[in-house]
Chains A and B, each alone.
Chain A
Amino acid sequence: MTLREFALNKWVLRATSILIVLAAWQYVGSRINPIFLSTPTAIAVAFGKTIASGELISAVAASLGVTAAGFLIALVIGVPIGLLMGRFRVIEYVLDPYVSALYVVPRIALIPLIIIWAGLGIKAQIVVVFGTTVFPILLSTFAGVRHVDSRLIETAYSFGASEKQLFFKVIIPGAVPFIMSGLRLGIGQAIIGMIVAQMFLGIAGMGFMLTNYGNQFATDYVFVVVLALAALGIFLTEMVKFVESRFNHWKPDERIRG
């Protein structure tokens, strides 16, 4: 490896970029009020303390539980409804007023109602996550059904397929790529929903930690939570991508770029 090749290696470029930003942050942060920016070293210390006390681990666990529960319920409800709305006009016309209306209302606006119906605990948080997650999943599934190649439906029909067989052998597998991108969009929405829910409704979890330390102007601790959230987001997105790759093994590799 020549020096030039080494300098252009993507990992070297990434590491250099991060080091420069951290150094600049450290330099600027230690010269102004720590409430504004804090410093990487202070954040590292705060990180160590929250790990040692078990606070961060239990907050991440609480957040992960709420996110997973809301996401899974959204999956179990959103995918079948999307499939049925996509395939059957009657179901589409009966349900689309509600889906369209709820989709355009920011789900955060429903939090007061959710508090009235579900209280302030875990249940209400799961409802909020469900509410933010179900629409991208449902609407992607719906679009997926609509994009199934009609020639494949006709092919199966020419072999005598029943409506049930068309549904399970053509429509569902044909809609899988769209369902998977719905899940990818959904997991991002689920994390947003979880944080908002815990900021409003939580007495535990990462959202609660954020509000709590924010109120105390403990900027270094706020950054600890933000970084942990980034890690959680990457982890969950990678999980969905892994599931997606298991379903898309038959696809040609379409990634072409310079």
Chain B
Amino acid sequence: MTTLEPALRIAGLGKRFPVRTAAGAMESVDILKGVDFDVRPNEFISIIGASGSGKTTLLRIVAGLTLADEGGVEIAGKRITGPGRERSLVFQSINLFPWRSVQKNVELGLEIRGEPEAARRAAAERFVKLVGLEKHAHSYPHELSGGMQQRVGIARALATDPDILLMDEPFGSLDAQTAEFLWDELLKIVEQTRKTVLFVTHHIDEAIYLSDRIVVLGGKPATIIDVIEVDFPKPRYAYDVRAEPRFAEFRARLRRELFRGGSSLAEEEGA
């Protein structure tokens, strides 16, 4: 097996947030501490953790929207200092521009980059088609369903042709049926466009279904408590992955880890 240069290296990452104590004073609390892992090119990695485990914070640091207090994120051997064109972010809240048509929303990143109009339009048309919304290219976001809106969010992220797709619970605001339909869509798109994906979720089945590896965050401050290799054959949309006996084993293992000590959810449930 050849050793590939990692697409992304997260090294000794730590983050503190100010928290108000019972006495009313502000105190710095560790949220993430000593988070270390490499992402290989074209790998699909999910970061899973209970709510409050710092998984979204981790993704925001990788996106360059939040600064790390310790360690950092390296891409091609270089420490990142902010957003960059090799990364694109897909948001849970989708964040489409309501005054822009689908087409113009997808063009946003290219417009910011100063691409000429013809190139922008061609790229946007291609990715609107890839997510199956060519009939809605001139619709406005409020005219689309939630699932369609998030397809636009994915097309917008892909249009700038990033190497790495960062996804922050992208299907978390959608109903279960729409979300599961979009799992297959996402796998097809990632396969076609050959992206590396870092995917944050709290949804166990979603993580197993989509990922090559699952990074489990837990504890206070959160660290990596497990890394699971999910080696089901691909393409996974071609058969029923969830019928595999090992799917149930992975699920049981993740449930144990997520509901065990350290996570805020476990504390709340134990209380």
Contacts and interface: CB of A to CB of B under 8 A. Distances in A.
Interface of A: 149, 151-152, 154-161, 165, 169-170, 173-174, 176, 250-252
B95 A159 contact: no
Interface residues of B, number: 25
A157 B65 contact: yes
Interface of chain A: mostly helix, strand, loop or mixed: helix
B95 A151 contact: yes
A169 B99 contact: no
B76 to A, nearest CB: 17
A158 B65 contact: yes
A251 B142 CA distance: 8
B140 A151 contact: no
A173 B160 CA distance: 22
Contact of B64 (A156, A158, A161, A173): A158
A151 B99 contact: no
Contacts of A176: 99
Most buried by A among B64, B89, B95, B100: B95
Interface string B80-95: 0001110011010101
A161 B95 contact: no
Contacts of B91: 151, 155
A251 B141 CA distance: 9
A159 B160 contact: yes
Given A156-B112, A159-B88, A165-B112, A250 B99 contact: yes
A160 B95 contact: no
Contacts of A151: 91, 93, 95
A252 B142 contact: yes
Given A158-B83, A176-B99, 17 more contacts: A151-B93, A151-B95, A152-B95, A152-B97, A154-B95, A155-B95, A155-B108, A160-B83, A160-B85, A160-B113, A173-B99, A250-B98, A250-B99, A250-B100, A250-B101, A250-B142, A252-B143
